[in-house]
Structure 1
Amino acid sequence: MDIESLQQFWSFIQDFFTLENTQELMKDYRELGPLPGILLPMLEALLPFLPLFVFVVANAAAFGLWLGFLYSWLGASIGAIIVFLVIRRLGQKRFFRFLSKNEQVRKLTGWVERHGFGPLFLLLCFPFSPSAVINVVAGLSRVSISQFVLAVLSGKMVMIFIISFIGYDIQSLIQKPFRSALVVLGIVVLWYIGKRVELYLNTKERKSRRKEVGEQQ
């Protein structure tokens, strides 16, 4: 596919998945209930050129702030975990081997392995972070599945809620800074809880390894 074809394809995606078109899509498939609201964010994790921001805002408009947030969070989290598990399973296959051998990717995977939950959580909190890259790098690293799932569920929760809240009532966010402060506080609390859970999981894993070594001896 040449550059001109890619530009045409990108232009088609931008024109098709506008906020107005996506909201109409939600209305057309209203009889399917929450399924479209979950599937669209999930597809974005698999096809990162799709506009997650538009899907989340459309969900908030179609289902209300809380249900829209829930469906978007479920879809985005499930999609990210699927990508992680596929890369973890197939990362050493010939098709993906060039990624694991890339020097920059190796540096990123090493950095993720050393720091674990913390950086994954913070990166996933930001709406415009390269989540597709994060999922792939985490899958290629030795980060445990439990650490990644914890980071995705908590980080995506923050990110999706921020987008849902902004899209649902942006004027309230500007006019009532107290609400903005609550969002920031929520991020800090979730990060702290995640770090405590990560510490518990790491301690449990170390004890399990010691027990296995002891039994082998």
Structure 2
Amino acid sequence: MDLEFIKEWFTLENIMDLINEYRSFGPLPGILLPMLEAFMPFLPLFLFVMANASAFGLWLGFLFSWIGACTGALLVFLLFRKYGQRRILRFLQKHSKVRSGMNWVERHGFGPLFLLMCFPFTPSALVNMVAGLSKISIQQYMLAVLAGKLVMIFTISFVGYDIRSLLTQPARTAIVIVVIFILWYAGKRIEQRMNMSAENEHNG
């Protein structure tokens, strides 16, 4: 089973079937799927959140997705915070882009991290890893994660809780597409600015 097959399998329909199949476990599938995305960033968090909102309703779907995504982010952060100095992971800190990212996170703190977490297309696994290796406090980091992912996941949940209306109401579909594009574009711009800032620090 290769990576491409796994990516192709994760469609909204298949994810909803999976959640419904394990409905007897209560909220567990809805929490575990977003949590797994923190460790395997190729998994589609966007689809997990939409499927949860459709399967459990807007508020419960949002809550389960938020708990799962924040728990996953915290676990990745803590793993790299605890084992980042060990020999097996020490090579990461020697990488110039990782080093620059760590310095950037330490200097800018809560604000930019919060903005990054607001956007569904941000490479959050990389952000969690770099933050774990940096000297940012766990309180500052978790505040950014909890607040940023709250904004991002509620936005996606609102889109996903009534998916059928996207098919029957073209105007709403158009609005959703525009919002997704704006989020994607804004996230990319912030990511580019981060990369430019990191490169300037490295060259300077």
TM bucket normalised to smaller: 0.7 to 0.9
For 1:34-183, list aligned pairs within 5 A.
34-169=27-162
Question: How many residues are aligned here?
Answer: 172
TM-score, normalising length: structure 2? 0.79
- Distance in 2, matches of 1:99 and 1:40, equals 27
Q: Report the counterpart of residue 202 of structure 1 in structure 2.
A: none
Determine what percentage of the aligned residue pairs are the same residue: 63
Instruction: Return structure 1 stretches of 4+ with deviation > 4 angstroms.
Output: 169-177
Could you tell me which runs of 5 or more consecutive residues in structure 1 were left unpaired when the two chains were aligned. Answer: 1-7, 185-217
Which amino acid is 1:145 matched to? I
Q: Match of 1:60, SS?
A: helix
For 1:13-28, list aligned pairs within 5 A.
13-28=6-21
Could you tell me which runs of 5 or more consecutive residues in structure 2 were left unpaired when the two chains were aligned. Answer: 184-204
Of structures 1 and 2, the larger Rg is shown by 1
Q: Is the 8 A contact 2:7 2:42 kept in 1?
A: no
Q: What is the RMSD computed on CA atoms of the aligned residues?
A: 2.0
Q: Is the 8 A contact 1:73 1:160 kept in 2?
A: yes
**Farther off after superposition, 65-74 or 165-174:** 165-174
Q: Match of 2:120, SS?
A: coil
